[in-house]
Chain A
Amino acid sequence: MENQLLAIALAPLFGAIVAGLFGRQIGRAGAHWITILAVAVSTVLSLDVLRRFLFEDMEPFNQNVYTWLESGGISFSIGFLVDKLTAVMMSVVTFVSLMVHIYTIGYMKDDPGYQRFFAYISLFTFSMLMLVMANNFLQLFFGWEAVGLVSYLLIGFWYKKPTAIFANLKAFLVNRVGDFGFLLGIAAVLLYFGTLDYQQVFDTAPGLSGATIEIFEGKPWNLMTVVCILLFIGAMGKSAQAPLHVWLPDSMEGPTPISALIHAATMVTAGIFMVARMSPLFELTETALSFVLVIGAITAFFMGLIGIVQNDIKRVVAYSTLSQLGYMTAALGASAYSAAVFHLMTHAFFKALLFLGAGSVIIALHHQQDMRNMGGLRKYMPITWITGIIGTLALIGFPGFSGFYSKDAIISAVSTIDRAGAGFAQWMLVAGVFVTALYSFRLLYLTFHGETRMDEETRSHAHESPWVVTVPLVLLAIPSVGISWWAAEPMLFGDFWGQAIVMEHDSLAHLREIWTGPLGFALHGFVTLPVWLALAGAGLATYIYLFNPGIADRIQGALKPLHTLLDRKYWFDEIYQALFAGGSRLLGKGLWKGGDEALIDGLVVNGSARTVGWLSGVVRWLQTGRLYTYAFAMIIGLIAMLGAFVLWAR
Chain B
Amino acid sequence: MSDWPLLSLIVWLPIAGGAAVLLAGERRANLARWIGLLTALVTFVLSLPLYQLFDRETAQMQFEELSPWVATFNLNYHLGIDGISLPLILLTTFISVLVVLGAWGPIKQKVAQYVAAFLILEGLMVGVFCALDAFLFYVFFEAMLIPMFLIIGVWGGPNRVYATIKFFLYTFLGSVFMLVALVYLYLKADSAAILTLHDVSLSLTEQVWIFLAFLLAFAVKIPMFPVHTWLPDAHVEAPTGGSVILAAIMLKIGGYGFLRFSLPITPDASSTLDWLLITLSLIAVVYIGFVALVQQDMKKLIAYSSISHMGFVTLGLFIAFAIFARAEANAGAAMGFEGAVVQMVSHGFISAALFFCVGVMYDRIHSRQIADYGGVVNTMPWFATFMVLFAMANSGLPGTSGFVGEFMVILASFQANFWFAFLAGMTLILGAAYSLWLVKRVIFGDVGNEKVAGLSDINAREAITLGALAVAVLGVGIWPDPLVDIMHASVENLLTHIAQPKI
Given the contacts A72-B330, A72-B335, A184-B422, A584 and B436 also touching, CB distance less than 8 Å: no
Main secondary structure of the interface of B (DSSP, over half): helix
- Separation in Å of the A515 CB from the closest CB of chain B? 43
Contact partner, B410, options A149, A183, A215, A592, Cβ 8 Å: A183
A600 & B226 in contact (Cβ 8 Å cutoff) = yes
With a cutoff of 8 Å between Cβ atoms, the chain A residues found around residue B485 in the complex are 70
- Separation in Å of the B342 CB from the closest CB of chain A? 9
- Separation in Å of the B192 CB from the closest CB of chain A? 32
With a cutoff of 8 Å between Cβ atoms, the chain A residues found around residue B82 in the complex are none
Interface size class of A (residues with CB under 8 A): 35 or more
A190 & B414 in contact (Cβ 8 Å cutoff) = yes
Complex interface bits, A173-201 against B, C-beta within 8 A gives 1, otherwise 0 = 10011011001101110111010000000
With a cutoff of 8 Å between Cβ atoms, the chain A residues found around residue B295 in the complex are 592
CA distance A69 to B335 in the complex (A): 11
With a cutoff of 8 Å between Cβ atoms, the chain A residues found around residue B411 in the complex are 186-187, 190
Given the contacts A191-B329, A591-B290, A601-B229, A71 and B335 also touching, CB distance less than 8 Å: yes
A146 & B398 in contact (Cβ 8 Å cutoff) = yes
Asked if B104 is an interface residue, CB under 8 A from chain A, the answer is: no
With a cutoff of 8 Å between Cβ atoms, the chain B residues found around residue A601 in the complex are 229
- Separation in Å of the B274 CB from the closest CB of chain A? 18
Given the contacts A72-B331, A149-B397, A605 and B446 also touching, CB distance less than 8 Å: no
Stretch binding the partner chain, chosen from B45-53, B59-67, B89-97, B437-445: B437-445
Contact partner, A71, options B328, B397, B484, Cβ 8 Å: B484
B338 & A173 in contact (Cβ 8 Å cutoff) = no
Given the contacts A70-B484, A149-B397, A173 and B432 also touching, CB distance less than 8 Å: yes
CA distance A179 to B432 in the complex (A): 12
Contact partner, A191, options B328, B419, B433, B488, Cβ 8 Å: B328
Stretch binding the partner chain, chosen from B10-18, B148-156, B423-431: B423-431
Output the nearest chain B residue to A162 by Cβ-Cβ distance: B445
Contact partner, A68, options B287, B414, B425, B479, Cβ 8 Å: B479
Contact partner, A588, options B226, B293, B425, B480, Cβ 8 Å: B293
- Separation in Å of the B46 CB from the closest CB of chain A? 28
Contact partner, A172, options B328, B432, B444, Cβ 8 Å: B432
B479 & A180 in contact (Cβ 8 Å cutoff) = no
Asked if B69 is an interface residue, CB under 8 A from chain A, the answer is: no
Contact partner, B377, options A159, A184, A584, Cβ 8 Å: A159
CA distance A601 to B334 in the complex (A): 37
CA distance A357 to B178 in the complex (A): 70
A588 & B392 in contact (Cβ 8 Å cutoff) = no
With a cutoff of 8 Å between Cβ atoms, the chain B residues found around residue A187 in the complex are 410-411, 414-415, 421
Asked if B380 is an interface residue, CB under 8 A from chain A, the answer is: no
With a cutoff of 8 Å between Cβ atoms, the chain A residues found around residue B291 in the complex are 588, 591-592, 595-596
Output the nearest chain B residue to A601 by Cβ-Cβ distance: B229
A74 & B335 in contact (Cβ 8 Å cutoff) = yes
Complex interface bits, A320-360 against B, C-beta within 8 A gives 1, otherwise 0 = 00000000000000000000000000000000000000000
Asked if A294 is an interface residue, CB under 8 A from chain B, the answer is: no
Complex interface bits, B467-503 against A, C-beta within 8 A gives 1, otherwise 0 = 0000000000001110011001000000000000000
CA distance A592 to B297 in the complex (A): 13
CA distance A173 to B439 in the complex (A): 13
- Separation in Å of the A189 CB from the closest CB of chain B? 10
Given the contacts A584-B290, A584-B293, A69 and B332 also touching, CB distance less than 8 Å: no
A188 & B290 in contact (Cβ 8 Å cutoff) = no
Given the contacts A71-B334, A71-B484, A184 and B421 also touching, CB distance less than 8 Å: yes
Complex interface bits, B330-344 against A, C-beta within 8 A gives 1, otherwise 0 = 111111001100000
CA distance A186 to B428 in the complex (A): 14
Contacts across chains A and B counted by CB atoms under 8 Å: 145
Output the nearest chain A residue to B232 by Cβ-Cβ distance: A596
**Chain B, 208-245, CB within 8 A of any chain A CB:** 226, 229
Output the nearest chain B residue to A67 by Cβ-Cβ distance: B481
Complex interface bits, A291-310 against B, C-beta within 8 A gives 1, otherwise 0 = 00000000000000000000
A184 & B425 in contact (Cβ 8 Å cutoff) = yes
CA distance A146 to B226 in the complex (A): 35
A584 & B433 in contact (Cβ 8 Å cutoff) = yes
B444 & A156 in contact (Cβ 8 Å cutoff) = yes
Contact partner, B436, options A66, A169, A177, Cβ 8 Å: A169
CA distance A641 to B428 in the complex (A): 63
B415 & A191 in contact (Cβ 8 Å cutoff) = yes
Contact partner, B334, options A73, A156, A160, A585, Cβ 8 Å: A73
- Separation in Å of the A640 CB from the closest CB of chain B? 32
Given the contacts A68-B479, A180-B425, A187-B410, A605 and B229 also touching, CB distance less than 8 Å: yes
CA distance A118 to B388 in the complex (A): 18
With a cutoff of 8 Å between Cβ atoms, the chain A residues found around residue B480 in the complex are 68-69
Output the nearest chain A residue to B483 by Cβ-Cβ distance: A69
**Chain A, 561-614, CB within 8 A of any chain B CB:** 584-585, 587-589, 591-592, 595-596, 600-601, 604-605
CA distance A530 to B488 in the complex (A): 61
A142 & B399 in contact (Cβ 8 Å cutoff) = yes
**Chain A, 479-523, CB within 8 A of any chain B CB:** none
Asked if A374 is an interface residue, CB under 8 A from chain B, the answer is: no
B445 & A73 in contact (Cβ 8 Å cutoff) = no
- Separation in Å of the A142 CB from the closest CB of chain B? 4
Extra contacts besides A165-B445, A173-B429, A180-B426 (10): CB < 8 Å: A73-B334, A74-B330, A159-B377, A169-B437, A186-B411, A190-B414, A215-B418, A600-B229, A604-B226, A605-B170
User: What are 19 A-B contacts with C-beta separation under 8 Å?
Assistant: A72-B335, A74-B335, A145-B399, A146-B399, A160-B375, A172-B432, A173-B429, A180-B425, A184-B410, A184-B414, A184-B422, A184-B425, A188-B414, A191-B328, A191-B330, A584-B293, A588-B293, A595-B291, A600-B226
Give me the interface of B with A, judged by CB distance under 8 Å.
166, 170, 226, 229, 287, 290-295, 328-335, 338-339, 375, 377-378, 388, 392, 397-399, 403-404, 407-408, 410-412, 414-415, 418-419, 421-422, 425-426, 428-429, 432-433, 436-437, 440, 443-446, 479-481, 484-485, 488
Q: Lowest 3 A-B CB distances belong to which pairs?
A: A72-B331, A187-B414, A72-B334
Give me the interface of A with B, judged by CB distance under 8 Å.
66-74, 141-142, 145-146, 149, 152-153, 156, 159-160, 162, 165-166, 169, 172-173, 176-177, 179-180, 183-184, 186-188, 190-192, 194, 213, 215, 584-585, 587-589, 591-592, 595-596, 600-601, 604-605
